[in-house]
Amino acid sequence: MRTIPTVLLMMEMLRASTRGHLAGIAKYSRLHGPWTFYRQPLSYLQPYQNTAKAEPSPTGTIDGIITYITHKKELQSLPAGVPTIIIPFLELIPGFPNMTTSGLSGKMGAEYFLERGFQHFAFCGFPDIYWSQLRSGHFEQAIRRAGFAAHIYQPPRTIAQTKHLWSVEQQYVVTWLLSLPKPIGIMACNDDRGQKVLDACKTAGLLVPEQVAVLGVDNDDMICDITDPPLSSIAVNFETVGYEAAKLLDQLMKGEKYTGQTIPPVSPIRVVTRQSTDILAVEDAEIAAALRFIRRNRNQAIRVGDVVNATTASRRSLEKRFRSVLNRSILDEIRHIRMNHMAQLLAETDMTIEQIALALGLPDSKHIAELFRRELGLTPRAYRRNFSSK
């Protein structure tokens, strides 16, 4: 009779990242298991304890572990010889498969603000946490490549010693915000940080999004929807990473040796725009009118002439302005907006590619698939496979 593996999950369940990881792990178990999952601790039954503290499972055996780790010393409390997947918080843990981040959400955040016409940019993160550093680095690199400078929040070293206690750090963030040029697009390393930036804007008397537009990462609706104003955020593929982590754990539980196999890192899917960034920071009124027209009509097969007609500028003048401000043509912008809308439909709906093509006013699904591949670097089917939330 086949033995059902027992997998210990030492993960707090409140965050969007964990919920996404768990959805992927559960999906793998349904398709290739079943597994028995043992969760602990139950915080409402026990006093606070370190996440990496293992106790015997009810069956007496643990076949695999997926656990958060903050510090390397926490490894000492894990059962020896049990296949383990690490979700590192502060730093990568050598000798184990780590569920990591690519940092590419930083690049997506930079491109998002550039597309909206901002000319001032900043990043607010945790300089002492590896995934925040990755996102900050990609953000700054993309901004510099576009010919601008990025302002990176650098708190005093003493702040890290307080674990970024907000009652201590808030005034530093307020002072930093007041020193920045306006209007400015600020990317936070995650939604928690984004919420704090919005709080600091309120304390500083800064208008959001008119003076400061704020973008988070993780698209944790429990956080984004309770902020004032609601926080825009980058959705990432936590579920896909959870599935791949479970796949590797399965291989290790079946006896495969760990020789440095990696789990595909967390990567961005798309930006979910809410009120905190719902503004076009474009001083040129004709370009702003053109961009509003393109966004309003992203489901229509509009042409360059339609966009020109939505303004009072000549086609030649508008093309020149687009290239000067946005560094691309009107047609490039139309394709960019429409293909990103297609990406959203692929990720969030069960519509077929043919149905999406028709909805966008493009009956030739092969043509739209090629446009999509050129814009996003993946075929529509590959994009849906990697990033679907359905």
Angstrom distance (rounded) from CA 383 to CA 356: 14
Is the domain of 219 the same as that of 110? Answer: yes
- DSSP secondary structure string for all residues of 70-108: SSGGGGGGSPTT--EEEEESSS--TTS-B--B-SHHHHH
Q: What SS3 state is found at 363?
A: coil
Within 8 A by CB and 6+ apart from 269, the residues are 234, 235, 236, 237, 343, 347, 387, 389
Read off the pLDDT of residues 311-357 as tens digits, 9 standing for 90 and up.
Answer: 999 999 999 999 988 888 999 999 988 998 898 888 888 899 889 98
Is the domain of 18 the same as that of 83? Answer: yes
- DSSP secondary structure string for all residues of 255-290: TPPPSS---PPB-EEEEE--GGG-----S-HHHHHH
Q: What pLDDT score was predicted for residue 87?
A: 92
Mean pLDDT of 7-29: 90
Closest of 331, 342, 336 to residue 306, by C-alpha: 331
Highest mean pLDDT among 13-17, 141-145, 227-231: 141-145
Is the domain of 121 the same as that of 222? Answer: yes
Residue 171: inside a domain: yes
Check pLDDT > 50 for residue 51: no
Closest of 57, 67, 84 to residue 12, by C-alpha: 67
Range name among 81-85, 253-257, 323-327 with the lowest pLDDT average: 323-327
74 touches 50 (CB < 8 A): yes
Is the domain of 332 the same as that of 350? Answer: yes
Check pLDDT > 60 for residue 45: no
Percent of the chain at pLDDT exceeding 70: 93
Retrieve residue 190's tokens.
């995650």
Per-residue pLDDT band at 160 (split at 50, 70, 90): confident
> For residue 300, how many other CB atoms are within 10 A of its CB?
12
Q: Considering the entire predicted model, what is its pTM?
A: 0.80
**Residue ranges making up the domain that contains 337:** 285-387
Is the domain of 29 the same as that of 133? Answer: no
Given strand 150-152, what is the order of strands in its sheet? 150-152, 121-124, 184-188, 212-217, 232-236, 268-272
Is the domain of 208 the same as that of 125? Answer: yes
Alpha-helical (H) ranges within the chain are 16-32, 104-115, 130-145, 157-161, 166-179, 191-204, 221-224, 238-253, 285-296, 304-309, 315-325, 330-348, 353-359, 365-376, 380-387
Read off the pLDDT of residues 168-186 as tens digits, 9 standing for 90 and up.
Answer: 899 999 999 999 999 999 9
Read off the pLDDT of residues 88-142 as tens digits, 9 standing for 90 and up.
Answer: 988 889 999 999 998 999 999 999 999 888 999 999 999 889 999 999 999 999 9
Given strand 84-88, what is the order of strands in its sheet? 36-39, 6-10, 64-69, 84-88
Is the domain of 116 the same as that of 212? Answer: yes
What's the mean pLDDT when you consider all of the chain? Answer: 88
Residue 57 DSSP class = -
Higher pLDDT, residue 107 or 160 = 107
Residue 1: inside a domain: no
372 touches 379 (CB < 8 A): yes
198 touches 214 (CB < 8 A): yes
Q: What pLDDT score was predicted for residue 43?
A: 52
Q: The dihedral of CA 2, 7, 13, 17: what is its sign?
A: negative
b (16+ CB within 10 A) / e for 197-229: bbbbbeebebebbebbbbbbbbbbeebbeebeb
Read off the pLDDT of residues 182-201 as tens digits, 9 standing for 90 and up.
Answer: 999 999 999 999 999 999 99
Check pLDDT > 70 for residue 44: no
Higher pLDDT, residue 40 or 269 = 269
Retrieve residue 337's tokens.
């907006």
Task: List the CATH number of the domain containing 67.
Answer: 3.40.50.2300
Phi then psi dihedrals of residue 71, to 5 deg? -130, 150
Is the domain of 206 the same as that of 354? Answer: no
Task: List the CATH number of the domain containing 340.
Answer: 1.10.10.60
Check pLDDT > 70 for residue 276: yes
Q: What pLDDT score was predicted for residue 14?
A: 79
Is the domain of 117 the same as that of 190? Answer: yes
DSSP H or E run through 151: strand 150-152
Place of tokens 């590619």: 353
Mean pLDDT of 228-247: 94
346 touches 357 (CB < 8 A): no
Higher pLDDT, residue 59 or 123 = 123
CA distance from start to end of the chain = 34
Check pLDDT > 70 for residue 157: yes
Closest of 257, 277, 239 to residue 115, by C-alpha: 277
Residue 326: inside a domain: yes
Is the domain of 86 the same as that of 146? Answer: no
Is the domain of 311 the same as that of 373? Answer: yes
Within 8 A by CB and 6+ apart from 197, the residues are 124, 173, 177, 186, 188, 212, 214
